[in-house]
Amino acid sequence: MSAFTKFFSYFNQRINIFFFSWLPQALKFLLLVFFVSISVFLQKREKHNCRKIINEKSTKFVYKKRKLLGFVPSESLDCSICLSDFEHGDKGRKIVNCRHIFHENCLDKWLMHGKGQATCPLCRSVIIPENMMDVHRKVKDEELRFTMFEEELALMLLSGLTSGCSN
């Protein structure tokens, strides 16, 4: 009879370890993964919407210097955002409405990062509608708050994971 008692005691001990130690830790980890996944999904969706409008309102091109009979014309295109000349092979964007030309990365940063300007850097013609920029700014603010929440949640959960795994 003592063999059965030892077996069930061992089995009971393992069940207690699972339900009171491992399962709560796994649920905390899954909760963290869930919140991070939602955050990443919302960020990508909003960036995709803005990028779609930027692609509709501008055309992409690759700058190529033309040589006519070995002579390179002296006039060159320059980007008004970074103040650099276009070099052979640089990717650029031409805004459809006003026809101003910028480096692709410069215009993307101008429109999407920082305060998120919704207009052409030179003539201020509208590229992204203001209501979309308001949504973009709001998502960026929420993203910052959510990121801080994620960090706090991660620290709480991970501290619980490290202390709970020693059992």
- Token couple for 152: 């706090």
3-state DSSP assignment of residue 62: strand
Task: Output the pLDDT for position 138.
Answer: 67
35-46 core/surface letters (b: 16 or more CB in 10 A; e: else): beeebeeebeeb
So where are the chain's domains? Answer: 2-66+75-164
Task: Output the pLDDT for position 139.
Answer: 65
Question: pLDDT tens for residues 55-97?
Answer: 888 888 888 876 555 555 556 678 888 988 888 888 999 988 8
Which residues are registered as beta bridge partners of 60?
A: 93
Q: What is the 3-state composition of the chain as percent helix, strand, coil, each rounded to the nearest 5? A: 60, 10, 30
- Report how far apart, in Å, the C-alpha atoms of 2 and of each of 7, 9, 14, 122 are: 8, 10, 18, 88
Fold classification of 2-66+75-164 is Herpes Virus-1 (3.30.40)
Q: In whole angstroms, what is the distance from residue 18 CA to residue 73 CA?
A: 75
Question: pLDDT tens for residues 5-48?
Answer: 777 788 778 887 777 777 777 887 788 778 778 777 777 776 77
What DSSP designation does 71 have? B
Crossing angle, helix 130-164 and helix 23-57, to 10 degrees? 160
Amino acid, res. 153: L
